[in-house]
């Protein structure tokens, strides 16, 4: 009932030429992304080239960030309108590298989420605890605060366009992943928080897992009932490994039907 969503977060990797070559390769492997939604979040500078390269492929585009104003004197920032203009359907917001590396609070993330909704961009809202918080047994408390704060301004009619991504900070780029059982527990908790906030729509909101997802561990994670796909960093930089994760997600969908 929830179409799994796989997002390639390239972070600050790949210029125009490399991004285009990736798209051509992935299109050949994927043919049509039936049963899964496939999204690429390249650096801003490659969005235009990928919009052209991915036309008609069914593969969607995402921005990696936005500034919560339509336009104005905000040197170096990108507006939600510009992301729409260059073909984005999604935008990643509240990634841990933004929360922890650039000091973004949940209140600021909430403004961005609102701006995305106002421009018909679908926000992929990331939450996750640090290693210190994890070891102190504070995961539930941290996730709850991030969810409540980051989603504070979502208009009810936009709730089903949301995608959540649970990304334990200690798992991002480290090679460590949460066990499928532990990740499922956090995802189920997130869904309960979404139910409190949005009612029955919570069952239609997708919650991805992120943090060192690879072809070898993706299947077991995405086979969990509340894990609806993956946000993939490092393993999405190579078309063969990203495609392998997509293929395993399709297989886990078939196994559960
Ligand atoms: C990410 O960037 O969101 C991420 C999960 O990275 P990695 O897959 O490299 O851990």
Distance 72 CA to ligand 1 centre (A): 32
| CB-ligand 1 contact for 213 (6 Å cutoff) | yes
Q: Is residue 256 pLDDT above 90, yes or no?
A: no
In this structure, which residue's CA is closest to atom 2 in ligand 1? 233
Q: Is residue 255 pLDDT above 80, yes or no?
A: no
pLDDT tens for 83-137 read: 999 999 999 999 999 999 999 999 999 999 999 999 999 999 999 999 999 999 9
Round the average pLDDT of the chain to a whole number and report it. Answer: 95
Distance 8 CA to ligand 1 centre (A): 9
Nearest to 61 by CA among 81, 86, 33, 26: 86
Percent pLDDT > 90 in the chain is 93
**Which residues neighbour 241 within 8 Å (Cβ) at sequence distance 6 or greater?**
214, 215, 235
pLDDT tens for 141-153 read: 999 999 999 999 9
Taken in order of first residue, the domains within the chain and their CATH numbers are: 5-256 (3.20.20.70)
Distance 235 CA to ligand 1 centre (A): 8
* 257 confidence band (pLDDT: 50, 70, 90): very low
In this structure, which residue's CA is closest to atom 6 in ligand 1? 233
Residue 69's pLDDT is 97
* 253 confidence band (pLDDT: 50, 70, 90): low
Q: What number of CA atoms fall less than 13 Å from residue 65's CA on the CB side?
A: 19
pLDDT tens for 67-98 read: 999 999 999 999 999 999 999 999 999 999 99
From 234, 236, 237, 244, the mutation candidate for ligand 1 (largest count of ligand atoms within 8 A of CB) is 234
Greatest Cα pair distance, the chain, in angstroms, is 51
pLDDT tens for 152-180 read: 999 999 999 999 999 999 999 999 999 99
- Phi first, then psi, for residue 123 (nearest 5°) are -80, 135
* 139 confidence band (pLDDT: 50, 70, 90): very high
Summarize the confidence of residues 213-238 as an average pLDDT. Answer: 96
| CB-ligand 1 contact for 92 (6 Å cutoff) | no
| CB-ligand 1 contact for 169 (6 Å cutoff) | no
Q: Residues in the chain, how many?
A: 257
Percent pLDDT > 70 in the chain is 97
Residue 124's pLDDT is 98
Residue 249's pLDDT is 72
């Amino acid at each position: 009932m929830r179409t799994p969503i796989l997002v390639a977060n390239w972070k600050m990797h790949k210029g125009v030429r490399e991004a285009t070559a990736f798209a051509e390769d992935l299109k050949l492997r994927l043919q049509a992304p039936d049963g899964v939604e496939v999204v690429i979040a390249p650096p801003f500078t490659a969005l235009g080239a990928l919009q052209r390269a991915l036309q008609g492929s069914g593969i969607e585009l995402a921005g990696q960030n936005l500034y919560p104003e339509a336009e104005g004197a905000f040197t170096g920032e990108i507006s939600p309108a510009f992301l729409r203009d260059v073909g984005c359907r999604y935008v990643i917001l509240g990634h841990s590298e933004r929360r922890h590396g650039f000091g973004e609070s949940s209140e600021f993330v909430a403004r961005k989420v609102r701006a995305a909704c106002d421009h018909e961009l679908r926000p992929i809202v990331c939450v996750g605890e640090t290693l210190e918080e994890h070891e102190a047994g504070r995961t539930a408390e941290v996730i709850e605060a991030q969810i409540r704060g980051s989603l504070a301004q979502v208009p009810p009619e936009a709730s089903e366009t949301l995608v959540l991504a649970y990304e334990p900070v200690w798992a991002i780029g480290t090679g460590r992943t949460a066990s499928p059982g532990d990740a499922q527990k956090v995802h189920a908790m997130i869904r309960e928080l979404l139910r409190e906030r949005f009612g029955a729509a919570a069952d239609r909101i997708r919650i991805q897992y992120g943090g060192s997802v690879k072809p070898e561990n993706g299947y077991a994670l995405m086979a969990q009932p509340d894990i609806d796909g993956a946000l993939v960093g490092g393993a999405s930089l190579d078309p063969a490994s990203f495609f392998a994760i997509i293929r395993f997600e399709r297989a886990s969908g078939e196994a559960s039907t």
